[in-house]
Amino acid sequence: MTEVLAAPGTDAGAVPPPGADETGAPQVEVMGVRHHGPGSARAVVAALDRLRPDVILVEGPADADPLAALGDHPGLVPPVALLAYETGSPSVAAFWPFAVFSPEWQALVWAAAHDVPVRFCDLPTSAVLGGPGPDTAEAETPLGDETSQEPAPSEIPAPSEVPSAPEGADLSETSAAGVRRDPIAALAAAAGYTDPERWWDDVVEARRDAPTPFPVLTEAMAELRAAAAPLPDDEQQREDRREAFMRQTLRATLKGGARRVAVVCGAWHAPALDGKLPPAATDVRTLRGLPRRATSVTWVPWTSSRLARASGYGAGITSPGWYHHLFVSDDDVVARWLVKVARVLREQDLPVSSAHVIEAVRLADALASMRGRPVAGLEEVTEATRAVLCDGDDTLLGLVTGRLVVGEILGEVPDSVPTVPLAADLRTVSRRLRLPQEALERTVELDLRKPNDLARSRLLHRLTLLGVGWGTPAASRTRSTGTFRETWSVQWRPELSVSLVEASLWGTTILAAATARAVDTAVHGTLPQITALVEQCLLADLPDALAPLLDQLDVRAAHDEDILHLAGALPPLVRAERYTDVRGTDTAGLARVADALLVRLCAMLPAAVTNLDDDAARDLRTALDAVHEAVVLRDVDGAGRALWLRSLLVVADRSEGPHPVSGVLGGRATRLLRDVGHLTPAESAVRLGRSLSVGTPAPTKAAWIEGFFDGGGLLLVNDPELLGLLDAWITDLTEDAFVDVLPLLRRTFGTFAAPERRAVGDAARRRTGSTPAVPTTFRALDLDEAQVGPAIATVALILGAP
pLDDT band at 783 (very low <50, low <70, confident <90, very high): low
Position 355 scores a pLDDT of 92
| Residue ranges of domains in the chain | 2-6+21-311, 329-406, 427-506, 539-799
Mean pLDDT of 707-730: 70
pLDDT band at 187 (very low <50, low <70, confident <90, very high): confident
* Range name among 393-402, 511-520, 585-594 with the lowest pLDDT average: 585-594
Sheet holding 80-86, edge to edge: 136-138, 89-98, 80-86, 295-301
Does residue 169 have a pLDDT over 70? no
Position 740 scores a pLDDT of 72
Q: Are 150 and 94 in contact (CB under 8 A)?
A: no
Position 132 scores a pLDDT of 54
Does residue 312 have a pLDDT over 60? no
Position 172 scores a pLDDT of 53
Q: Specify the higher pLDDT residue, 171 or 226.
A: 226
Alpha-carbon Rg for the chain in angstroms: 37
Mean pLDDT of 542-559: 80
Q: Specify the higher pLDDT residue, 409 or 685.
A: 409
> Which of 234-248, 523-537, 637-651 has the highest average model confidence (pLDDT)?
234-248
> Which of 214-218, 552-556, 681-685 has the highest average model confidence (pLDDT)?
214-218
- Tens of pLDDT, residue by residue over 421-437, are 888 889 889 999 999 88
Does residue 791 have a pLDDT over 90? no
Residue 75 DSSP class: T
> What are the helix and strand counts (H, E) for the chain?
36, 11
> Which of 26-40, 160-174, 203-217 has the highest average model confidence (pLDDT)?
26-40
- Tens of pLDDT, residue by residue over 374-392, are 788 888 888 999 999 888 8
Does residue 101 have a pLDDT over 80? yes
Q: 165 vs 156, 170, 678, CA distance in Å?
A: 20, 8, 75
Position 315 scores a pLDDT of 52
Q: Are strands 442-447 and 260-266 parallel, antiparallel or unpaired?
A: unpaired
pLDDT band at 306 (very low <50, low <70, confident <90, very high): confident
Q: 693 vs 696, 701, 702, 728, 782, CA distance in Å?
A: 6, 9, 12, 11, 17
What average pLDDT does the chain have?
77
Position 147 scores a pLDDT of 31
Does residue 2 have a pLDDT over 60? no
**For helices 510-524 and 543-559, angle between their N-to-C axes, nearest 10 degrees:** 10
Q: Which H or E element spans position 304? A: none
* Range name among 122-126, 183-187, 690-694 with the lowest pLDDT average: 690-694
Mean pLDDT of 207-234: 80
pLDDT band at 711 (very low <50, low <70, confident <90, very high): low
Position 310 scores a pLDDT of 45
pLDDT band at 567 (very low <50, low <70, confident <90, very high): confident
* Range name among 22-26, 333-337, 488-492 with the lowest pLDDT average: 22-26
Mean pLDDT of 328-351: 88
Angle, vertex CA 210, rays to CA 204 and CA 215, nearest 5: 70
Position 316 scores a pLDDT of 57
Q: What is the pTM of this model?
A: 0.65
Position 432 scores a pLDDT of 92
Position 45 scores a pLDDT of 92
Position 552 scores a pLDDT of 81
Strand, helix or coil for residue 134: coil
Position 9 scores a pLDDT of 33
Position 142 scores a pLDDT of 37
Does residue 337 have a pLDDT over 60? yes
CB-CB neighbours of 320 under 10 Å: 27
pLDDT band at 241 (very low <50, low <70, confident <90, very high): very high
How far is it, in rounded angstroms, from Cα 621 to Cα 438? Answer: 45
Does residue 590 have a pLDDT over 50? yes
Q: Would you call the peptide bond into 436 cis, given omega within 30 degrees of 0 as the criterion?
A: no
pLDDT band at 56 (very low <50, low <70, confident <90, very high): very high
The fraction of the chain above a pLDDT of 90, given in percent, is 17
Mean pLDDT of 728-744: 73
Q: Specify the higher pLDDT residue, 621 or 356.
A: 356
Q: Are 200 and 188 in contact (CB under 8 A)?
A: yes
Q: Specify the higher pLDDT residue, 24 or 110.
A: 110
pLDDT band at 761 (very low <50, low <70, confident <90, very high): confident
Query: Across-strand partners of 86?
Result: 89, 295
- Tens of pLDDT, residue by residue over 272-285, are 999 888 899 999 99
Q: Specify the higher pLDDT residue, 405 or 576.
A: 405
The answer for residues whose C-beta is within 8 angstroms of residue 687's C-beta and 6 or more apart is 652, 655, 670, 679
Q: Specify the higher pLDDT residue, 219 or 22.
A: 219
